Amino acid sequence: MNIFFIVVLLYLALLMTISIIKSRTISGQEDFMVAGRSVPTYKLVGTLLCTWIGSGSLLAGAGLAAQVGLSELWMAAGAWVGIVFVYFLAGRVRRIAQYTIPDILELRYNKWARILGTIAIVVAYTTIVGYQFRGGGFVLNLVADIPEWLGVILTAVFIIAFTAFAGMLSIVSVDIINGAVITVAILLAVPLVFSNLGGTEYITANIDPEFFTVLGGHNWIWVMGVFFPTFLLLLGESNMYQKFFSAKSEKSARSAVMWWVIGTIIIETAIASLAILAFSYFNGLGAESSFFLASEDSERIILHTARYGAEVGIPLLAGLLLICAAVAIITSTGNSFLLAPSTNLTRDIYQRFINPTAGEHKIVFFQRLMVLLLGVFAYLLLTQFRTILDMAFTAYTMVGAGLTPALLAAFLWKRVTTAGGVASIASGMGVTLLITIINSLSEEPILPASYIILPAAGVSIAALIIVSLLTRQDGPEKWGKFYETKDN
C-alpha cells in the first residue's frame, strides 16, 4: 500500500467522521436540507467554492486547457460572470426563504413549472454526480492501481453514504476543510511546476503561442458554445440557491458571493495554467516513457501531475496535498449535486403531491432513500457519454436552457406569464434531451455537446418571450414577493 493511497483513505475517513458526527444533530428537514438556515459567511464561501470547483474543472476543464490553452477559460468565465450577476439576486433569493428552485418556480408560475423544474434538475445533477464517480475511479486507479470500474463503485458508495448521513449540515462543515486544501494545493503546485520546467524560456520553446491568445485559434461561435453553458448553469444552479437559503441572513448571502467569485477566478485560472504546463511536459516525453500521458487522456493531467509530481518539481508533500485536493473536489461536488435533486424529489414531489402531511422524520428518511436511488441512477448514466466534457456540457445545458430563463424572468421581468414560464422550461429541456438522445444513438454526434446550448437556450428564451406576450399578464399576487425590498 503506497503513501498516496494511505493519505486518500485517511482524508476520506476524516470527512466521513465529520458527517457521522453531524448526523446526530439532525432534527428535521430544515437541518437536512438547508442546515437550519444558520450558515455564516465564511462557511457559505467555502461550500459555494467547493461545489463549483468540481470534476468539471479538475478533469474536463483541465483536459480542455491542455488541448487549447488559456482560451479554455472562456468556459470558466461563464461562471465568473454568472456569479457577479448573482450578487444582485442573492439577497432577494434568501429573503424568499424557500428550500428549492422548484419552490420558486411554483411560487411564481404553477405546479407544472415545479414538476418540470424537478425533472430537469434530477437529470442534470445526477449526470454531474456521475462524472464525480468517474473522477474518483481515476484517482483510485492512479494511487492504488484499483480497476477504474471498481474505483467508480467505491467512490459512489462513499459519496452516497456521506450525503445520506447529515445532508447540508455535513456538506457545509467539511467544505471548509476541502476549500482550504483545494486552494493551498493548486496555488502551491503552479509556481513549483513553472520554475522547475524553466519558466518563460520553457514556455517559449515548448508551448504553442496560440495557447496564450484570447481565442486560442477558435472563432466566436466556439467561445459562445463554451461560455454560455456555464453562465446559464450558474444562474440556475440549484445548489447555489439552496445554499443561499441556508445562509443566516441576506447580508451573509451577498458577502459570500463577493468572496466566491474572487476564489473561483483564482483557482480555475491556476488549474488551467497547471494543466497547460504539466501536459506539455508529460505529453512530450514520448510513449516509451512510463510517465507519458497521451492526448486522449488529457482530462487526467492534474491527477497525473499529483501522482508523478517529482518529475515536474513537485515534492512528495505537495503531491499528497494535490491528491487530497482532487479527492476534496470530487467528493464535495458529488455530495452537493446529490443532495440537491434528492431535496427536489422530497420537497417538490413527495411532500408537495404524495404525502403533504408527512412528519419530519419521515421526510428525512425519504430524502435519504432518494439519495441512494439517485446515486444508482448517476452510476447508470455514466455509460451514455463519451467523455466527462460531454457529460458536463449536457448537464449544464439542461439547467441553463431548461431552468435559467424562466427563473431569471421571475426576478427580473414582471411581464412574464405562467404560460410563458412553463413553455420556456419545457422547450429548453425538450431540445436538450432530443439532441442528446440523437447524439448517443449516432456514431458521430449531429451537434457537439458544447454547442447544444445555442439552439436549446435560443428556443427556451423565444418561448418565454413570445408566449408571455401572447397571454394575459399575471397579477401582483404572482410577482409581488419577487420585487419586495428589505435590508437586513
The amino acid occupying position 487 is D
C-alpha cell at 488: 437586513
pLDDT tens digit sequence for 357-402? 888 888 888 988 999 999 999 998 887 776 777 888 888 899 999 9
In a domain, 417, yes or no: no
Quote the pLDDT of residue 387.
76
397 in a domain, yes or no?
no
Half-sphere exposure of 387 (CA within 13 A, CB side): 18
Q: Is residue 52 part of a domain?
A: yes
Among 39-53, 224-238, 463-477, top mean pLDDT goes to: 463-477
Range of the domain at 140: 3-380
In tens, the pLDDT along 194-246 reads 999 999 999 999 999 999 999 988 899 999 988 998 888 888 777 666 666 66
* Residue 385: inside a domain: no
Asked whether residue 155 is domain-assigned, the answer is yes
Report pLDDT digits (tens) over 403-443: 999 999 998 899 999 999 999 999 999 999 999 989 888 88
DSSP 3-state assignment of 487? Answer: coil
Residue 453 lies in a domain: no
**Residue 478 within a domain:** no
Report H helices in 109-198: 111-144, 148-197
Each residue's pLDDT tens digit, 58-83: 888 899 999 999 999 999 898 888 87
Confidence of residue 36 (pLDDT cuts 50, 70, 90): low
Contact 255, 244 (CB under 8 A): no
How far apart CA 143 and CA 7 sit, in angstroms, is: 10
283-288 long-range contacts, CB within 8 A, separation 24+: 283/66, 284/206
In the 8-state DSSP scheme, what is residue 295?
G
Number of domains in the chain: 1
> Cell triple for residue 447?
451537434
- Tell me, yes or no, whether 386 lies in a domain: no
Check whether 487 has a pLDDT greater than 50: no
**Model confidence at 337: pLDDT above 90:** no
pLDDT at 95: 64
Nearest to 171 by CA among 366, 335, 42: 335
Task: Say what the pTM is.
Answer: 0.79
More confidently predicted of 416 and 39: 416
Residue 217 identity: G
Average pLDDT over the chain, rounded to an integer: 85
CATH code assigned at 158: 1.20.1730.10
Over residues 253-270, the pLDDT tens digits come to 778 878 888 888 999 999
